[in-house]
Each structure stands twice: as structure tokens, then as C-alpha cells.
Amino acid sequence: MTASSSTIRTVMITGANGYLASHIVKQLLEKGYNVNACVRNAANESSVRHLLQLSSSSTSSGKLQLFSTGDMADNTLYGRYKQPLANCDAVFHAATPLSPKFTGEFDGVRDMLNPGMEGTKELLETMLHSPRCSSIQCLVLTSSMSAAAPQPEPPIKNESHWSDDTAQLSRGNFYGLLKTRQEKLCQQWSEQSVQEGKLALNFRYCAICPTMIVGPPLLAADDDDDYTPSGTMGSLYRVIKPTDVPSLIGQTIKETKRKALNDSMSYIDVQDCAAQHVAAMENTNASGRYFSLVESWHWNDILSTLKELYPEISLDENYKYEGDDIIRPTQFNLDRMNSLGVKVKSIREIFAECISFFQSKGVL
């Protein structure tokens, strides 16, 4: 526990058993913070086993308590955050509604945008009505780089750039739309609540905006031999080893006959992203938005690096894009991110770690 965060003892986090949030929980426990972890169903042992094993680890000095807060789309559970907030000094909001209906039945407004926004509003309202409201020092939101993607793209992106939520809605980018509106809601709520004296004058709101998060997930010890790549790790896996499982990145690579796209992609290691969340809480000077990435690479460089690290990757003989119109990878100003003091792995290091993890699980 750092000197700057010496008054923070107990932290609440939503979506605590998720890919990124699990790493945040792990780092908080290892630093000695007590964690009130909100999950859909704490009685579902298979979904929280990895968290329970974290709390019993010899490297964890903090205490973990699980709270069942249900599905964000269930609006009959108002008040779900009252108990986990009761003794908290800081809050991480990492939960995002992910509907199982990613089929033709999926309605982005109904299944993602509305529950995500209503769940966030409920959390903010409960914070204001908590007996410890004046003692809550900060709120850290997990946002996304998709909330900072204006069109046309600026020469160098920084945290002052915002996505156009109207354009996101028209394109059906409901995840990006949710993150854009979540950020604006939390920012406005924070400023207004401090001005009205409902929150302490030193209350801070931070938003972490990651790009593509990859890196080994936290698994329960007895899940080690039963791993199937999913989520963003599944997307990276299908670039390396194409399958018939639908994946935005995997499908794109397959449809171009295993040739590089004339586009770029940026990455961040999951542990580094988690560390940036914790640093935003601990650093009393931290406030506002922070990017979370290493850098952006052209797909030529992504595929060539993966091929160096894993020569068995399936690519065309002439896989590189060689057109005269080759694009420049997206450029970012990372000064604010670097001010958090987290040293991040290089993309090559990230890829090497992911490949090693896939091999250890027998999927490569």
C-alpha cells in the first residue's frame, strides 16, 4: 500500500471475476487492500473459484469478500451495491453487460447500452446515499479506446479526443457507444456532486481507456488443463491458428487469405492495464482520462513478429501488404498514461508471453 493511498483500506469493484477485473483484484489483494468483489452470483463456485484462490494465496495480505449483485440488466435488484459500498474508500467500475444473445436476436440498445447505463447510474446514486459517501476518495472506470476514436482520426490522439456517440449508434458499435456515454455520465456526475458538496472536495474520478487487452487470464488451479481461448485472447489465438469460431480479427485474417491488412492495431498487457487502474486509485494527483496501450503496429509488423515467435503460424508466402497506400499506424500521445508510473511490456514481449501461455495449455 503506497503512502499516497494510506487512507484507502477497502475497495469495491464491479464485475470482479472478469478477465481484466480479476487481475485488478489480484493486485489489490497483494498490496494489502481489502476488496469487496461484486459478481453476478457469488454462489456459482465455478465462476469465482479463481478469486477465492487469490484470497488464500500466500502473496495476498488483503481480505476478499464476495457480493452477489446479479445481472446489470435486472432492474429489480435496485440497492444491490448498498452493502458492498458500506465500508469502502474507493470504487472500481469494471462491469459491462455482455448478453449471451450475440446472434440475430441481439439488440445492442436493449441488451448492452440500456443495462450498462442504468447499472452505472444505480452505482453512482448508491454511492451518494452511502453513509460513507464523504469518505469515498475516488472512482475508477474501465472505459475503452473506442470512446476516444473521433473520425477523421487526428494526427496524434490524446485524451481530449472523444468518439461521436451518434455515429457509434448508427454503425452499431454498442460497446463503444456505452463506454463513451458511461465516461461522460461519470465525469458530469463527479463534477456536479463535488460542486454540490455531496462528495469530498478531494474526490477524484479517473477513466482508463485500454486498447486491445491480451495476456494470460487468471485461472483456478483446477481449470489449468481445460482452457479454451476466448475473448480478446481468443481473437489473438485465431490470428495465430485460424479456426471456424467467429472472431472479428480471426475472420478478417482468414478472409484475406492470411495476408496482412492495410490497417493497424494497438495492444496492452492485461497485468499492465490492471496496474494502471490501481495506480490511478493510489496516485492522489491522478484525475480524468488515461489511455492504456503500448503503441500501434501495422499488421505487417504484427504478423511478422508473430511468425518470428511462432514459425508454425499459417500465413501466405507473400503475406505482407505491399501497396503504395500503406497506412501509418495510429499515433498516440502517452504523456498522461506515463504519468501513472506503470512500466508496460512491449508488444513483442506481450506476444511472446501469450504464445508461451497457449503452448503451456496445449492449444498451440
Confidence band, pLDDT 50/70/90 cuts, at residue 250: very low
Q: What are the pLDDT digits (tens) for 101-141?
A: 444 577 889 889 999 999 999 999 999 999 889 999 999 99
Q: Cα separation of 271 and 268, whole Å? A: 9
Tell me what pLDDT residue 6 has: 57
Confidence band, pLDDT 50/70/90 cuts, at residue 364: very high
Which residue type does 27 have?
Q
Work out the number of other CB atoms within 10 angstroms of the CB of residue 164. 14
The strand order across the sheet containing 264-269 reads: 212-214, 264-269, 296-298
Tell me what pLDDT residue 55 has: 83
Burial 322-338 (b: 16+ CB within 10 A, else e): eeeeeeebbebebeebe
Tell me what pLDDT residue 136 has: 96
Tell me what pLDDT residue 206 has: 99
Bridge partners (DSSP) of residue 74 are: none
Tell me what pLDDT residue 246 has: 47
Would you kindly state where each structural domain of the chain is located, as residue ranges? Answer: 3-215+267-292, 221-266+297-329+343-360
Q: What are the pLDDT digits (tens) for 200-243?
A: 999 999 999 999 999 999 988 776 677 889 899 999 998 998 76
Work out the number of other CB atoms within 10 angstroms of the CB of residue 317. 5
Distances in Å between the Cα of 222 and the Cα atoms of 46, 156, 226 are 10, 45, 8
Distances in Å between the Cα of 253 and the Cα atoms of 37, 110, 259, 352 are 38, 31, 7, 20
Confidence band, pLDDT 50/70/90 cuts, at residue 177: very high
The string of DSSP codes covering 109-144 is IIIIIHHHHHHHHHHHHHHHHSTTGGG--EEEEE--
Superfamily holding 3-215+267-292: NAD(P)-binding Rossmann-like Domain (3.40.50.720)
